[in-house]
Amino acid sequence: MPPRDRGGHRELKMRVNELAKKVGVTPDTVRYYTRIGLLTPTKNIENGYKNYASTDQKRLGFILKARHLGFAVSEIEEIINLSNKGTSPCCRAREIIHKHIDETAQKIDELSRLRACMQKASDTWETMPDSVPDGDSVCDLIEMWDEVELRQSA
């Protein structure tokens, strides 16, 4: 008789490739999450292959959703550990997502400033002549940027 899961349902046994195909990831992705301990397959004593159960499929789905939301692997591990201890990880998940929202807003601001600086350089460089390296310089456009920017600000 095939093994049964906690709910009394017949347990599905899948190999790496089968699980990867069912979830829509590469076998290397399954192996990675197995190697770091987020997936815990059983080992077939007869052939040494790892067998993944439906619980592993659900866990992998959870991991992929969390990654899609921007959670780091270490944060996913923390959430899973809280859950395994019988503690609701939802409060921690909220804290993490709020932190990520703030960090993302800061990155967007930084990138907006960088884009504006790049656009200013691009616009300015359109009217500047190309120079030939003289052994002391690589590219005058970049090397003179601080001076050009200061003149434009004045």
Each residue of 12-48: pLDDT tens digit?
789 999 999 999 999 999 999 999 999 999 988 888 8
pTM, full prediction: 0.75
Q: Is 122 left (phi over 0), alpha (psi -120 to 50) or beta?
A: alpha
Tell me: the pLDDT tens digits for 41-91? Answer: 998 888 888 999 999 999 999 999 999 999 999 999 999 999 999 999 999
Tell me: the pLDDT tens digits for 89-106? Answer: 999 999 999 999 999 999
Show the domains of the chain with their CATH numbers.
16-153 (1.10.1660.10)
**Tokens 């609701």 sit at which residue?**
88
Confirm if 124 and 116 have CB atoms less than 8 A apart. Answer: no
What kind and span of H or E run contains 51?
strand 50-51
Residues in a beta bridge with 10: 4
Quick check: 1 pLDDT over 50? no
